[in-house]
Amino acid sequence: MTPLPTSIRTLLVANRGEIAIRVLRTCRERGIRTVAVYSEADASALHVRMADVAVPVGPAPSSQSYLVQERILEAAKATGADAIHPGYGFLSENAAFAEACAEAGILFVGPPPEAIRTMGDKTEARLLMQQANVPMAPGTTDAVQDEAEAERIAAEIGYPVLVKAAAGGGGKGMRVVERADEFQSALRGAQSEALSAFGDGRVFIEKFFTQPRHIEFQVFADTHGNAVHLFERECSIQRRHQKVIEEAPSAILTPELRAEMGAAAVKATLACGYVGAGTVEFLFDEGQYYFLEMNTRLQVEHPVTEAITGLDLVAEQLRVAEGEPLGYTQDDLTMHGHAIESRVYAEDVKAGFLPAPGPLLRHRPPSGFGVRVDAGVEEGDTVPVHYDPMISKLSTWAPTREAAIARMDRALAEYDIAGVETTIPFCRFVMQHEAFRSGDFNTSFVGKHFTPDALAPDAETQRVAALAVGLLNFEEANASAPVLNGHHAPVSRWAQRRR
């Protein structure tokens, strides 16, 4: 095995979009040369334009480009990269890729392969957490083998139960079972979906909480045996089991409970031999918390943690990867103010949050004190059909939660996007809803409070929209009008004034 470098001079970002840009910016600040990789669909993407060097790695489908380990490693070798940052998604939680980097003498900016492999297998992770005395929801620590035995275990746990894929996430291979007579079909459905999505049909069973909160702790560990938590993020506003709004800190944790849950997160981190940035996720129900899973990478929602701690988490990742100690203890860390993140996706909210990719005809982000926009695209770009349809992450910070919500609502109102449907109207709905403002909400927020009718435009909005359509029709008519004396003959007084 080639010896690993102790300092990073050139770093390849094995990702795209806003996370690639996020890493590139920190590298630029640290004087690190950067390499981007791109698919055919991303040839003119913003992350390609920002990097010092850009290397094509294949056709548009990620399975033929961003997920092809050999091409990523070839790009690293060809450009002299001594480190690879995987971002999140794609190869970020792939133990085999982390091993391949080490074999090639390239620093993998992430945890050891063993930690990725252990925490990526939900049954192994549950067993390890049980041994480390980290609270877990009632359920199995092994994949279920026999249908009859699985049904008996479900009955012992008590319905409703959750059948979950042992390998994977993102809501795939997951079934909620309300009654015993639904169990067998749900089990087979989860196994089939897990096999299709992850190539692994193993599933396990755990208690399903009907109205929990989703609270996760950012953790950090170095190669010297030090580990800390950087406080929590509340991630309970979700659609399709996926987060859309996050905040730090949670509105409901007391200092005592925060310390207890944070200590459990650090215990989980040390138990798996972790290094770098990770996230320990918990379900919180009726005052009790239960280990859910560990994400062995940087999270999408890391900006809210950066806002309340003042730490650049990507810079911390690079320092730890180079072998430096954390440089702070748990007692050194404090929270300042409150931060909220809204994920701005190209999605049709009224159609059930379906992806709605397309050309970004206008993209004018908000600004002002306490406002941060992490965008992966610019005006004139296209949100491609091949990947996650995220446009940007909009974050706000303020001294109090109430002020952070008000600032987010203002920023969302200023965010001007045209060409695609977005989640902005839904995010404003959340900011204005009393359940969210009061802190009295959970993961069932969307099902309980939101319907597409809630986003129906008011009379004034409809009037302005009708006027805009009318003006656009005038423009199109003028463009096709007969030419007189070298000019299109105007067909309206509005068109005449514009000329």
Q: Which residues form the catalytic set?
A: 297
State the DSSP string of 202-254: -EEEEEPPSS-EEEEEEEEE-TTS-EEEEEEEEEEEEETTEEEEEEES-SS--
Per-residue burial over 80-99, b if 16 or more Cβ lie within 10 Å, else e, is ebbbbbbbebbbbbbbebbb
Q: Are strands 107-108 and 83-85 parallel, antiparallel or unpaired?
A: parallel
State the DSSP string of 266-326: HHHHHHTT--EEEEEEEEEETTEEEEEEEE-S--TTHHHHHHHH---HHHHHHHHHTT---
The gap from C-alpha 380 to its chain's centroid, in whole angstroms, comes to 24
Beta bridge partners of 207: 161
| Helices 147-157 + 183-198 axis angle, to 10 | 110
SS3 75: helix
Other C-beta atoms lying within 10 Å of the C-beta of residue 223: 15
Which of 36, 47, 43, 44 lies closest to 14 in space, CA to CA? 36
SS3 50: helix
